[in-house]
């Protein structure tokens, strides 16, 4: 899988309470596609832990089957 394909997948995840996605909000700081894994670095600027958790859960539920070994890093 290519970085551009991962970014396209991430564009389908809306930030809770808004109509924009996490990519357009600039929350995706880096995507590294390796041979055996995909590392996604997110900077979610909120003190609302529930919103952070919602984004992480959506990522894991929706894409873990596509991105076999998904590593999320919250910055």
Domains contained in the chain, number: 1
Q: What is the CATH number of the domain that holds 31?
A: 3.30.300.130
pLDDT one-digit tens code per residue, 23-49: 999 999 999 999 888 999 999 988 999
The contacts of residue 25 (CB under 8 Å, 6+ apart) are: 15, 18
In this predicted structure, the answer to whether residue 61 has a pLDDT above a threshold of 90 is no
Report field, pTM of the whole predicted structure over 0.95: no
> CA-CA distance, 72 to 69, in Å (whole number)?
10
> CA-CA distance, 22 to 42, in Å (whole number)?
9
Structural domain span for residue 35: 3-74
């Amino acid at each position: 899988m290519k970085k551009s394909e991962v970014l396209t997948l991430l564009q389908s995840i809306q930030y809770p309470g808004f109509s924009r996605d996490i990519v357009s909000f600039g929350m995706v700081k880096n995507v590294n596609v390796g041979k055996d894994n995909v590392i996604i670095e997110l900077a979610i600027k909120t003190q609302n832990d529930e919103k952070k958790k919602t984004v992480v859960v959506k990522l894991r539920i929706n894409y873990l089957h596509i991105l076999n070994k998904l590593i999320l890093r919250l910055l």
